[in-house]
Structure 1
Amino acid sequence: MNDDNLVERIADKNFNVNEFVKAVLDDENIRGEVIKQLLTNNDIMVYYHCYYIISKASEKKPELFYKYWNNFVSLLEHKNSYHRNIGLTIIANLTKIDEDNLFSSIFQKYIEHFNDDKFMTAQCFVQSMKKVIRNKKQYEKKIIDLLLDIDKICTYREKQKELLKSDIIEVLDEVYKSTKYKDIIVEFIRKQCNSLSPKTKKKARFFLAKHDL
C-alpha cells in the first residue's frame, strides 16, 4: 500500500480496517500519516476510521506508537468528546509499554474523565481502566477507590450512574483474583445486585456466581 489517495481510501465507508492496520504496522510513513489525519482531520469519517486503525494497531504493537504519546495526551482536552475518547483509548493501550512512566504525569488529567461533560466519554474512561489497571499495578488501589466512589464523584443522572457501574464491575473483575482489596470490591458488587440498571444487576450477580461468593 502506498500513500496515494490515502485519505480518500480511509474515508470510504467500506474501508478495510485490517488492511490499514497491517499497513500502519509495516510502514512508518503510512503510520505517521494516519496518525496525522487522526489528530488534525475534521472529517469524522476520516478521523474515526483512523481511530479504528490506530486503536487496533496500538493493541498489537504499542511500542510503535509510544513516541506519539504527547500527541495522544493532547486529545484528552479536546473540545470534541470523540477525540477525548480516542485519547483515553490509545493511551490505555500504550500503558503496556510505558517504560518511562509517562502515565504518572497525566494520571490526574486522565481520571478527570470519570466525570466528563459527556456520559459516553465517562463510559470510555471506565472501559479503558481495564487495561490501565492491568498494566499499571501501582495505581490499583487508587483506581479501585476512585471507581467505588462513583456516587460522590459522578454528577450524572441516577440511571446513568447505575449503568456506568456495569462497566466498573468489569474493571473490578479484571483484578479480583490477584487483588488485596477483595473485601471492598465484594461489598460494592453485592450492593449492585439491587441496582436500578438491569445490566448492572445482571453483571453483579454473574460476578458473585463466577467467584463463588
Structure 2
Amino acid sequence: MNDTLSNAISIRKVDINYYVDLILKDEKIQKDIVDLTLNHPHIMTYYHGYYILDQATKLKPEIFYKYWDEFSSLLKHENTYHRQIGIVLLSNLSNIDIDDKFSECINDYLNCLYDNKILIGKYCVMYLKNIFKSKPKHRHQIIDELLNHKRKTPYTEKQEALLEFYVLELIEENYQELKNKEEINKYIIEKQESISPKAKKKCKELIKKYKLS
C-alpha cells in the first residue's frame, strides 16, 4: 500500500477535490486510492478514499469501470462501511455498464435491502434509484422487491417506515414508465398509514398528483 498517500488522505481536513482531480489524471494514484479504500484498515483512510471515489466515479465513471468486480465484492464485505461503499460506487458506474456486469451481482445488491444494519438498507434503496433508470431490464425485479420489502424485512416498524419514503421517491421519479400501475397505486394508498411523517406527506402529494382515490 502507498503509506505516504494513506497518511495524506487520512487527515481530518483533507482536500477531497484535490485528490478527485488527481485520480482523474494519474492512473497510478487512482489505483492506489482504490487499493486504500478497499483494503486499508484505518477508517479515516478508507472513508476519505470513498469520498474521493464517489465524486470521481460520478465525473468520469468510464475510467473506473475496470474496478467493477472489486467494487462488487464489497457488497458482501463484513464491514458495514465497505458494503455502503460498494452500493454507492456500483450505482455510480451503472450508467456505463457496457458488459452488463450488474446482472451478475443484482442478487447481492438487492440482498443489501435486508442487511442487518438499517444504514445499508437505506443506502440500497436510495442508490437503487439510479440503477432503476440505467438498468431497465431489471426494473420489474427491483420494484417488486421494494413493494414487497415489508414481507421479509429485518427492521423495526419505525425503520421500515424510513425506507418507505425512499421507495415512494423512486416511484415518483419513474411513475410514468412503471407498468404495474395498479400495484403501484395500491402501495401509495396503503402508505398513507405510514408512521413516517415524510412518507405520509409524500403519499398525500402522490395521491393528489396522480388523482388516486
TM-score range, shorter chain: over 0.9
CA drift of 1:4 comes to 8.7
Q: Deviations over 1:96-136 (max 9, x none)?
A: 11111111111111111110011110001111100110100
Moved over 6 A (4+): none
Q: Which runs of 5+ in 1 are unaligned?
A: none
CA distance in structure 2 between the aligned counterparts of 1:86 and 1:57, rounded to whole angstroms: 13
Please tell me whether the aligned partners of residues 189 and 203 of structure 2 are also in contact (alpha carbons under 8 angstroms): yes
Please tell me whether the aligned partners of residues 91 and 130 of structure 2 are also in contact (alpha carbons under 8 angstroms): yes
CA drift of 1:210 comes to 4.2
CA distance in structure 1 between the aligned counterparts of 2:142 and 2:34, rounded to whole angstroms: 29
Percent of residue pairs bearing the same amino acid type: 37
Give 1:52's aligned residue.
Answer: 51
CA distance in structure 1 between the aligned counterparts of 2:31 and 2:37, rounded to whole angstroms: 10
CA distance in structure 1 between the aligned counterparts of 2:65 and 2:133, rounded to whole angstroms: 18
Give 1:100's aligned residue.
Answer: 99
Please tell me whether the aligned partners of residues 134 and 174 of structure 1 are also in contact (alpha carbons under 8 angstroms): no
Give 1:73's aligned residue.
Answer: 72
Is 2:23 aligned against 1:24? yes
Query: What root-mean-square deviation, in Å, do the aligned CA atoms of Structure 1 and Structure 2 show?
Result: 1.6
Q: Which runs of 5+ in 2 are unaligned?
A: none
CA drift of 1:17 comes to 1.4
Note closer, same or farther for the CA distance 1:145–1:17 as it changes in structure 2 (3 Å cut).
Answer: same
CA distance in structure 2 between the aligned counterparts of 1:5 and 1:117, rounded to whole angstroms: 35
Q: Under a length normalisation based on structure 2, what TM-score does the superposition of the two structures give?
A: 0.93
Amino acid at match of 2:121: A
CA distance in structure 2 between the aligned counterparts of 1:152 and 1:191, rounded to whole angstroms: 14
Amino acid at match of 2:133: R
Q: Deviations over 1:6-31 (max 9, x none)?
A: 22221111112112111111111111
Q: Deviations over 1:122-171 (max 9, x none)?
A: 00111110011010001111111110001102121111111111111112
